[in-house]
Structure 1
Amino acid sequence: MKVGFYPGCSLRGTSREYNESVVALATAFGLELVEIKDWNCCGATAAHSMNKALALSLPARVLALAEQQGLDEIVVPCASCYNRLSVAQYELAHDEALRDRVIEIIGMPYFGGVSILNVIQMIEKYIQKDLAAKIVQPFGRKVACYYGCLLVRPQHVLQFDRLEDPQHMDALMSLIGAEPIDWAYKTECCGAGLSVSRTDLVAKLSGHVLKDADDRGAQAVIVACPMCHSNLDMRRSDINNYLTKPIHTPVLYITQAIGLSIGLRPNELGLQRHFIPVSFN
């Protein structure tokens, strides 16, 4: 089975391990991810607050390329990329004048017919039905499923279940033998793109997330967003300084957790690239 694939900038750079785990998991279930040729940045971070037409043209070009290359459906693992592509598709579908302007900017046809899947939707659609039969090592630990901001908002566009208390990731983790905790920070912000310019704010916001997970006994935090992973993992020393108490809870992508449960090797999933070691011995 082939499906389109948009890795975006993060999966080609700072979140290389996410890309590795997405591809490894897809391959293990017979899913071939076909990368969109000549893709560009989706305009995440500041573009949408500075120039609306440009901010929509960047993701629209990606979608137009997918259409041009005969891809009816694309997997977009990065929550920020998924958000920008989905919002662009929604806005262009509801504003004909804006759509015409964007088509003029990108210089290619755009019809808005590509189906966009985030990584959780990919797992639910193509992997979940065969998952139980492939589990060789249940992920028998308490986990905090952290959705962050961009996977669930805006609700009227993304239509994610239970805006403040989503359950999809929890259900998938339960399938592989984990015990998702009930906690308060599922959809709170980690600080996102302020990681470089205001690391102090990231330490505070991400610190609240990790502290609540740790206080409730989580043995791992599960994410589906490169920025969330980067802030919770790479900025851990800043977080621990803010909290004045070291928290060593590892942060895994959901694709890594599922990969471990079906017997994929840690290096196939990029676990060696984490700042906080992933060890459950």
Structure 2
Amino acid sequence: MKYAYYPGCSLHATAVDYDESTQAVAKALGVELIEVPDWSCCGSTPAHCTDELLAAALPAQNLLAAKAVADQVVVCCSACFSRFKFAQKHIEEKDDLRAQLSETMPIDEIEGMQVRHLIDVLVRDVGLEKIEQAKQCDPQLKVVCYYGCLLTRPPKVTEWDDPEDPQMMDDLLRAAGMETIDWPFKTECCGATFALTRTDIVLRLTAEILQMAREVGADCISVACPLCHANLDMRQDDIRKKFGVECDIPIFYFTQLLGLALGLEKRDLGIGRALVNCDELLTAKGLA
């Protein structure tokens, strides 16, 4: 199985542990990820907030570069995934936008290009049965899966399994031997980029998410978004100081948890880079 791989800015910077664990898990499961040559930023929030043409052009240019590698591109960052899917949708539906893009790039060449999230690839292409067979241990972790805002919504764009009660990450981790706990905060917002401009909002939202995870008995939270990871991991000490709430709950990328089940080394999964220490938890579960 060969796919183009678009890491995006975060996975080469603040979320390098997401990239490391993605590469390690893909290799272990026989998934060949070939990094898109000369990729550039997807535009993220600033582009689509300021200029529709720019918001479509940046993902389109990356899709053209990915097309040279494979007909499917794997995008792990939820924000990048969202921007790629939105760009495809808008280019398909808006003739004037398509015409503008055609002036500077061969836009027709990206027709048929599939934008896939790694969760989708692992569940549908690799298959849960193969993951069950490949696991080297049952981690015995109680996990809540946090999908966040952008991965599942809007459903006409993301084409996820369920926009309000998604299951694919849960299915994946259960196949790897973990217990996933149903909870009501799967797709609640963490505050996203308000992290810099309205920290008060982010603290309130992340406190609610972390408290609920504790209330339902989770050992840790599994995420698929670099910004969600940053907000949930970095804000726990601030939450304790502001609200007097002790969270102390480790945040993992789903790829890190999957990698542990596959018997991969922690250093190869980027485990230990987060601020909230996970050593005690992993030792207690025999995963140290």
TM range (shorter): over 0.9
Secondary structure of 1:3's counterpart equals strand
Structure 1 equivalent of residue 270 of structure 2: 270
Unpaired segments ≥5 residues, structure 2 = none
- Superimposed CA distance per residue, residues 70-95 of structure 1 (whole angstroms, 9 cap, x where no aligned partner): 42011100011001001100110111
Structure 2 equivalent of residue 186 of structure 1: 186
| Contact 2:98–2:107 under 8 Å retained in 1 | no
Distance 1:139 1:91, change over 3 A: same
- Which amino acid is the alignment partner of residue 171 of structure 1? D
Matched, 1:236 2:236: yes
Structure 2 equivalent of residue 27 of structure 1: 27
Structure 2 equivalent of residue 122 of structure 1: 121
Shift in Å, 1:244: 1.2
Secondary structure of 1:139's counterpart equals coil
Query: When the two structures are superposed, what TM-score results if normalisation uses the length of structure 1?
Result: 0.95
* Distance in 1 between residues matched to 2:190 and 2:3, nearest whole Å: 31
Secondary structure of 2:217's counterpart equals coil
Shift in Å, 1:104: 2.4
Structure 1 equivalent of residue 138 of structure 2: 138
Structure 1 equivalent of residue 65 of structure 2: 65
Moved more, 240-249 or 150-159: 240-249
Shift in Å, 1:9: 0.3
- Structure 1 segments, 4+ long, off by >4 Å, are none
* Distance in 2 between residues matched to 1:155 and 1:109, nearest whole Å: 24
* Distance in 1 between residues matched to 2:12 and 2:108, nearest whole Å: 26
Shift in Å, 1:239: 2.5
* Distance in 2 between residues matched to 1:243 and 1:266, nearest whole Å: 33
Distance 1:70 1:26, change over 3 A: closer
| Contact 1:16–1:270 under 8 Å retained in 2 | yes
Unpaired segments ≥5 residues, structure 1 = none
| Contact 1:76–1:119 under 8 Å retained in 2 | yes
What pairs up with 1:1-281 in 2 under 5 angstroms?
Answer: 1-67=1-67, 69-105=68-104, 107-111=105-109, 112-124=111-123, 125-126=125-126, 128-279=128-279, 280=281, 281=284
Shift in Å, 1:113: 2.0
| Contact 2:8–2:77 under 8 Å retained in 1 | yes
- Superimposed CA distance per residue, residues 32-65 of structure 1 (whole angstroms, 9 cap, x where no aligned partner): 2111111110011221111111111111111122
Identity of aligned residues (%): 40
- Which amino acid is the alignment partner of residue 126 of structure 1? V
* Distance in 2 between residues matched to 1:54 and 1:157, nearest whole Å: 19
- RMSD across aligned C-alpha pairs, in angstroms? 1.4
- Which amino acid is the alignment partner of residue 262 of structure 1? L
Distance 1:241 1:119, change over 3 A: farther
| Contact 1:63–1:110 under 8 Å retained in 2 | no
- Which amino acid is the alignment partner of residue 97 of structure 1? D
Secondary structure of 2:103's counterpart equals helix
| Contact 2:39–2:62 under 8 Å retained in 1 | yes
- Which amino acid is the alignment partner of residue 152 of structure 1? T
Distance 1:109 1:162, change over 3 A: closer
Query: When the two structures are superposed, what TM-score results if normalisation uses the length of structure 2?
Result: 0.93
